[in-house]
Structure 1
Amino acid sequence: MKRIDLIAGARPNFMKIAPIIGALNDAKNRGSELRFRLIHTGQHYDRAMSGSFFEELGIPDPDINLEVGSGTQAEQTAGIMMAYEKILLKEKSDLCLVVGDVTSTMACSIAARKLGVPVAHVEGGIRSGDWTMPEEINRVVTDSITNWFFTTSQTANDNLRQAGVDEDRIFFVGNTMIDTLLTQLPRLRPPECWNALALEPSNYFVVTLHRPGNVDGEQGLLSLLEAIVDGTRGFPVVFPVHPRTAKQLGELGIRTPQLHYIDPLGYLEFNYLVRHARAVITDSGGITEETTVLGVPCLTLRDNTERPETITMGTNELIGTNPSNLAPALARLKAGKWKKGGIPPKWDGKTSERIVKILEQLLIGA
């Protein structure tokens, strides 16, 4: 038997790890010698940010919870490394599999490699080029010590090749987050606000904002929200508020009948809103992938993206962080001039199956 440590630490990880767990269980049922140990680092530790996602996506209770909790970037990194190192010293696995680009991804990769455990990175090779983003540092550090890369796009493959990674360590498999989306589509359900706000398909906008550059400065956040309200006039705007942003909004006291602040939603409810929205305005990377597959227009309030395929192939456009850029983009949308987009290669719901087959070949020669 060969055992894999599956690392999940923060909300963006859960959608990516869930289908891998399913594929590993399917492989076990057909006689595979692969086993796994699910390790939750506790980077997102409250129920709203992790517990409900585990239940909705069918993720089993973790075998180990490191319970690291909140802290600065350095505190979380150190806490996760120390806790995971103790686990490995007590009982080492054959592979550490990390997903995405959160602090847990980088920290567990470092701890594993220091103890001679190979690392596989799901979603390896993506780059924004923006070194002000903690996620970019996490990606680069993780990829610099990763043994095997499971990639979502040819752009990611090219990034790795340019960094000197050998071709036989790169596996273009697709996007596990899309595995989760396609699996869960029949189960998506309207949130409480659907009836309360009298929402109708294609007749409202969804907004998500959480990046420090957009929400930490009072004037910048105020200007963005004013531009969103002006550009979407005549339509409800639903804003599930991230905890970081909620604090800012409370201090600013921004209120308008058109803009509806709601509590963070679970996976099934949030993606129901996205699926039926006229468009999504966001600074999230993952949401741009989901809107691309769902065919929903997406306006990204960032100056760069680590997921360029959502722009070149999908429904996403980079609007930038200047609020004045929103009006012309929303005018094009209202005029019916937004691009239709398509689905990138291998974003077909079978990525996790490909990953598990490759892991069988790498670890047990099957």
Structure 2
Amino acid sequence: MEIGIIGLPNSGKTTIFNALTRSDTATAAFSSGQVEVHTAVVNVPDPRVDQLSAMFKPRKTTYAQVTYNDIAGLGQGAARSGLSGALLNAMAANDALMLVVRAFEDENVPHPNQTVDPERDLAAMEAELILSDMTIIDRRLERLAGGKHRGTPEERKRMAQEEALLRRLMDALEAETPLREVEIDEAERKMLGGFGLLSLKPLLRVINMGDEDDEARFQHLLDDRTLLLRGRLEAEIAQMAPEEATEFLAEFGIQEPGLNRAIRLCYAMLGLQSFFTVGEDEVRAWTVRRNTLAPEAAGVIHSDLQKGFIRAETIAYEDLMACGSMAEARRQGKLRLEGKEYVVQDGDILNIRFNV
């Protein structure tokens, strides 16, 4: 899973990046204007992995991972003439976007719009994504208009289908509706695969508060895809030892690090879940989409397991914890054999039986 962090200059994007990745990338009061991307890979915190590792005492414990990309260079008005190829590619390469808007006051860090107004900046940046998509679709429609009478009947049919889809999407964009809110089936998504449409991507909004800001000020902006973070404070906590960080979080009334909350929301937005494999060699978390069938989950582990899939020996995490050991779970009949039509559930522990 790759998450691109975007926002206006001086919104605290890199500070949020540092908080989420425990990095110490330098921040600046002025944007360089260059398309720079800072990248970090972090483990997905999951207490279930910790418990399974304690039970099996494996030689290796592997968590699921998420990649954060801090993307510089998105200024208000940038999409009017089309985003640069480098910037568009940097943003389009992500599975989801994290839009950081500034809610903190700091006279030493000028806001590009002179005043701090997170609600205004949220609307402005989402409008940039929509405008970028309109530019892309408009150019594609122009090319289709010049070529839809050429080619084979099958090619002309495909271009007609694409044109109809793009016109429907353009209508939504002109109504200021991001494409993530438009009903698009899988075949249509494949048709749009190489376009780099930004408003089609899941979007997590982060309101970057000051250390002493009252969260109640921003409650009217919150929904299930918006997160309040004290960016500077969380970045400091991210550099602390675990025991010291726990005390610091408690002092400021923060229940858990922003890293945990952000990943949880991103998983929900993308429809992701985790299953586990366990043993003396390794306890490992694997990431799949919800409604994934057992053979497809096996393929995430190794392609041979999907090709030769026979059965998945399965137990829910909660059942294994209640039994206390795999041997006791087997004795109680909690382990079950599932076939090719089984839909993997969050927290399943799988042992794939296969033959190639």
TM over 0.5: no
Higher helix content, 1 or 2: 1
Higher strand content, 1 or 2: 2
Considering only CA atoms, is the larger Rg found in Structure 1 or Structure 2?
Answer: 2
Which structure has more relative contact order (CA 8 Å, sep 6+)? It is: 2
Q: What TM-score results when the alignment is normalised by the length of structure 2?
A: 0.32
